[in-house]
DNA sequence: TCAGGTTTTAAACGAGTGTTTCAATCCATC
DNA sequence: GATGGATTGAAACACTCGTTTAAAACCTGA
């Protein structure tokens, strides 16, 4: 089907360019040129540039969120079975591991994570709301599960610590193998495995810090 | 001097609007309109929109960086006098406390911190380089000082943990009293004091986590 | 008060933006 | 092979953008 080819060529290039230069800084003309597609195709298939953004997000976020939710539910179910609190480590793993594995699964997915990682601090209201609509419920569920794992933490403090977790995660997602910060310290790419392991240690220590 | 009034009216509005909507999404027309200044005044006083950005950054970053560097040097000097390693807590305080105090010092400074906090993940190359030029050296010094406080940490791991610190700090800076994340959990503004205290606890636990 | 530099003003320029239009083309169905 | 809807194509539309221009207004020092 030629239509589907056009559609996914647009989606692929949009994913890459939105991640690389941001939503606002990517023009439909360079986008369609790179995708080897007519300029009007975007409005034909996605109604508007904003519609294209939502499609880019939905294509990746739907399966990713599903996998994360599954793993969180699984941790909760096992804990309930054993009549214990869910473990903080297992919950964080359930949220973080699928995310980072997903980013490494394909080049496009990596670009996608950069796009998402950016939106915690995104100034553009269109982009913010488009992402939060599709990711908000999952985060709420994750927060509730964490609350069960750390019942001694007051809710406002738990919320702060969750914010610290998410902002650091956002940085990892958006830096994808090349750290924009501290770029002068050598060309060695920190490998994914090490970064993930160190992230878990850092975040678990912070989450479980005494009051 | 009417010129200085014009200049600082432009700077104030630029700071506010760049923080609120981002550099690219702020047009000189709405900016000059709000500042009650002629459109051409920006190019007259700052040469270009990018020149305005650099002026906005320099005005705040120069004194702030100076204060942070002073406090870091002070911690190092005291440690050297006592022939001890510098304390991680003191170093993090030296970097973090002036930053967050500065943000609370005035409304404009708060806007400014939002602008800076965003740039860790900023896609726009102009903005990124403009900020990193003015903040890079300080971060390098801070990294080196942290290395003295945590000599058992391999350098690449220290660098990762520093990244986690900075990304969380960026989030605090850019959220400024109103958390964009988890906005549904009530209208209570997390107060500055509590956020700072919890941030210190979280980050110190992570930095000092065992290998 | 007058000359001379500084600052402000209104208008225009040229390039770039997302979107729309309406033929031309493709392609499955009868 | 003709028909009809789906898709593509080239061009234009209606803006907005940062920047430049040149005349007007302002202000200072002689």
Closest residue in A to B173 (Cα–Cα): A121
Q: Express each pLDDT in B26-51 by its tens digit.
A: 999 999 999 999 999 999 999 999 99
A93-116 residue pLDDT tens: 999 999 999 999 999 999 999 999
Smallest CA–C1' distance to C6, residue: B3
Q: How far is CA A126 from CA A6, A51, A206, B15, in A?
A: 24, 10, 32, 21
Convert the pLDDT of each residue in B52-111 to its tens digit. Answer: 999 999 999 999 999 999 999 999 999 999 999 999 999 999 999 999 999 999 999 999
pLDDT at B191 over 90: no
What per-residue confidence (pLDDT) applies to A110? 94
**What is the three-class DSSP state of B132?**
helix
pLDDT digits 0-9 by tens, A151-180: 999 999 999 999 999 999 998 998 765 555
| pTM greater than the 0.85 cutoff | yes
* A21 interfacial to chain B (CB closer than 8 Å): yes
Q: Which nucleotides of D are covered by protein (CB under 7 A)?
A: 6-12, 16-22, 26-28
Neighbours of A161 (CB within 10 A): 23
Say whether pLDDT at B163 is over 60.
yes
When the pLDDT of each residue in chain B is averaged and rounded to a whole number, the result is 91
Length of chain A counted residue by residue: 211
**What's the confidence (pLDDT) of residue A46?**
97
Q: Residues 22 to 81 of B: which have CB under 8 A from any A CB?
A: 22, 24-25
Query: Are B121 and A120 within 8 A, CB to CB?
Result: yes
Cβ neighbours of A185 in B, within 8 Å: 155, 159
Residues 6+ apart with CB under 8 A from B42: B10, B28, B31, B32, B48, B49, B52
Helix residue ranges, H only, A47-176: 49-81, 88-105, 107-118, 125-149, 155-175
CB contact (8 A) between residue A22 and residue B24:
yes
* Structure confidence at residue A1 as a pLDDT band (50, 70, 90): very low
Query: What SS3 class is residue B24?
Result: coil
CA angle B194, B199, B202 (to 5 degrees): 125
Q: In Å, how far is B3's CA from the nearest CA of chain A?
A: 31
**According to the model, what pLDDT value does residue A2 have?**
39
- B89 has a chain A CB within 8 A of its CB: no
CB of A41 within 7 Å of some strand D atom? yes
Q: Name the pLDDT band for B120 (thresholds 50, 70, 90).
A: confident
Percentage of residues in chain B with pLDDT exceeding 90? 82
Q: Is B81 exposed, middle or buried (0-12, 13-18, 19+ CB in 10 A)?
A: exposed
């Amino acid at each position: 089907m030629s239509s589907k080819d056009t559609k996914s060529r647009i989606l692929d290039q949009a994913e890459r360019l939105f991640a690389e230069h941001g939503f606002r800084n990517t023009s439909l003309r360079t986008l369609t040129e790179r995708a080897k597609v007519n300029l009007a195709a975007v409005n034909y298939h996605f109604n508007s540039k904003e519609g294209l953004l939502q499609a880019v997000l939905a294509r990746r976020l739907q399966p990713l969120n599903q996998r994360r939710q599954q793993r969180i539910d699984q941790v909760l179910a096992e804990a309930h079975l054993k009549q214990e609190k869910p473990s903080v480590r297992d919950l964080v793993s359930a949220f973080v591991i699928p995310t980072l594995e997903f980013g490494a699964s394909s080049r496009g997915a990596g670009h996608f994570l950069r796009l998402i990682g950016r939106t915690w601090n995104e100034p553009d209201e269109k982009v913010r709301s488009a992402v939060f609509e599709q990711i908000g419920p999952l985060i709420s569920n994750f927060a509730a599960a964490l609350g069960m794992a750390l019942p001694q933490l007051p809710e406002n403090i738990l919320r702060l610590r969750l914010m610290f977790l998410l902002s650091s995660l956002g940085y990892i997602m958006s830096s994808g193998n090349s750290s924009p910060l501290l770029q002068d310290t050598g060309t060695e790419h920190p490998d994914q495995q090490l970064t993930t392991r160190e992230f878990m240690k850092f975040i678990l220590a912070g989450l479980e810090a005494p009051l």
